[in-house]
Amino acid sequence: MATAQETHEYPGELNDVPGWFWPLDQVLFSWFLERQERLDTRGDLLELGAYLGKSAILLGHRLRDGETLTVCDLFGAEPPDAANRAEAAKSYSSLTRQAFERNYLSFHDTLPRIIQAPSSAVVDEVAPGSCRFVHIDASHLYEHVEGDIGAAKELLGPDGIVVLDDFRSEHTPGVAVAAWEAVLNRGLRPICLSSQKLYGTWGDPEPVQEELLAALRGRDDIAVTVERAAGQRLVRTRARGKRLRPPSLPSSRHPA
């Protein structure tokens, strides 16, 4: 995996922020969050693992009055164990809280709530059932991801959405094991899959799947296939070509 490098320039648009938040997932994040707004689903937003802020910036764009975006990341602090320290040194050596804050404030007036700690700390800081959307993109080690999924289940409200990053990458087998274990043994119901992320819920996935299928089948820039595995309906998505029609994205204070 290539390591995106920290930049000291202010981003002129969202895609100037380094990170692995691809256009298809920007479309899917926006669709799920817009659907929650349309249905007046209330709750906070939570991100475990923020890197330099690319996905957090989009999440902050969808906050409503009275809601909180919480971001939990080590931001260069000491990881809790040797395996996590090795992972951080390899993939996240450029990560700093200062860089995250600079990027985020290029798009928003105020910072999110920041928990600079291992992701395991989040259950002591966020109220059970208070979240409507949780993005898990922290450690790729099985033991940590398994705990992050358990935290998401506790912190999400009814029909809340969890997004698991890197569930199918060749360098993250621990995420794959934890993700599919949650589907098979812990009640997680997949809604859709992108090339990098699994979108799921502990509620009923069928109503949201039907709406998503209708929305995506009306687009010529996203391919959709549906199959079943282990009793689960899996909606697979992929980008057609290199240019997707972007969703509504936050505007930078420093346009190019």
Residue 256 has pLDDT above 60, yes or no: yes
**pLDDT value at position 15?**
95
Which residue, chain included where needed, has tokens 């274990």?
A: 181
| Alpha carbons 19 and 17: distance in angstroms, whole number | 6
What class is the 17-239 domain?
Answer: alpha beta
One-letter amino acid at 40 equals D
Q: What percent of the chain has pLDDT over 70?
A: 90
| Alpha carbons 17 and 42: distance in angstroms, whole number | 28
Please, what is the average pLDDT of the chain? 92
Q: DSSP for 57-73, please give it.
A: HHHHHT--TT--EEEEE
**pLDDT value at position 9?**
84
Of the chain, the end-to-end C-alpha distance in Å amounts to 29
Q: How does pLDDT run across 72-109, given as a tens digit for each residue?
A: 999 987 766 655 545 444 444 456 899 999 999 999 99
Domain ranges of the chain: 17-239
Residue 58 has pLDDT above 80, yes or no: yes
Residue 96: Cβ within 10 Å count: 14
Non-local CB neighbours of 18 within 8 Å, separated by 6+ positions:
4, 5, 6, 7, 51, 52, 54, 94
Give the E-state strand segments of 50-196 in sequence order: 69-73, 113-116, 131-136, 156-165, 189-193
